[in-house]
C-alpha cells in the first residue's frame, strides 16, 4: 500500500522572508570580514592604518558603519514599513549592495569570492521577494484556504 504524505506548509509573509534574508546577509558579511583577519597581509595593512589602499580614518569608519547600518536597519524596517516603501527600499538597497559586493569580490581570495557570491544570492532573494510581493487578493485567497499543502 502506497500513500503520499502531505506536509502542512503555512504561508509565510514576504516581510518575514525579506527580514530573514537581510539578517542572513549580515552574518555572511561579518564572517567574511572576520576571516579576512586571519590573513597576515590584511593585518599588516590595518596596522599601517590602511585597508584596500584607503586610509583608515574617521571618514572611512563612518562610511563603513553607515554601509553596515543600512542592512541592519532593514532587518527591522522590513517588518514595519508600509508595503510600498518596504518594497522600494529593499529592491533599491539590495541592488546597490549587490553591485558593490560583486565589485569588491573582483580579484579576491576564494573565501571572499564565495562569501560575496552568497551575499549576492541573498540580495537576489530580497529583490525577488520584494518584486513578487503578493497582491492583497492573492494573500486573501491563500489565507482563505488556510494552510496550503506541499508534497
Give 149's strand partners: 8
What pTM value is reported for the model? 0.84
82 Cβ neighbours under 8 A, 6+ residues apart: none
> Using CA atoms, how far apart are residues 117 and 51, in angstroms rounded to an integer?
21
- The answer to whether 18 and 130 are in contact (CB under 8 A) is yes
CA atoms lying within 13 Å on the CB side of residue 49? 3
Chain Cα centroid distance, residue 46: 27
So what's the pLDDT on residue 85? 97
- Cell 485567497 belongs to 141
What is the pLDDT tens value at each position of the chain, 151 positions in all? 567 888 777 789 999 999 999 999 999 999 999 999 999 999 999 999 999 889 999 999 999 999 999 999 999 999 999 999 999 999 999 999 999 999 999 999 999 999 999 999 999 999 999 999 998 875 555 555 554 444 4
**CA neighbor of 52 nearest in space, from 1, 103, 123, 116:** 103
Amino acid at each position: 500500500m502506497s500513500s503520499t504524505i502531505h506536509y502542512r506548509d503555512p504561508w509565510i509573509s514576504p516581510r518575514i522572508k525579506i527580514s530573514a534574508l537581510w539578517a542572513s546577509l549580515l552574518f555572511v558579511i561579518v564572517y567574511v570580514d572576520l576571516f579576512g583577519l586571519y590573513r597576515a597581509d590584511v593585518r599588516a595593512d590595518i596596522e599601517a592604518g590602511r585597508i584596500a589602499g584607503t586610509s583608515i580614518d574617521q571618514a572611512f569608519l563612518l562610511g563603513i558603519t553607515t554601509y553596515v547600518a543600512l542592512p541592519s536597519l532593514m532587518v527591522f524596517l522590513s517588518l514595519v514599513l508600509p508595503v510600498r516603501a518596504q518594497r522600494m527600499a529593499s529592491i533599491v538597497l539590495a541592488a546597490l549592495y549587490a553591485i558593490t559586493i560583486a565589485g569588491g569580490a573582483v580579484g579576491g581570495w576564494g573565501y571572499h569570492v564565495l562569501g560575496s557570491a552568497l551575499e549576492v544570492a541573498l540580495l537576489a532573494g530580497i529583490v525577488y521577494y520584494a518584486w513578487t510581493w503578493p497582491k492583497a487578493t492573492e494573500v486573501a485567497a491563500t489565507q482563505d484556504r488556510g494552510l496550503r499543502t506541499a508534497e
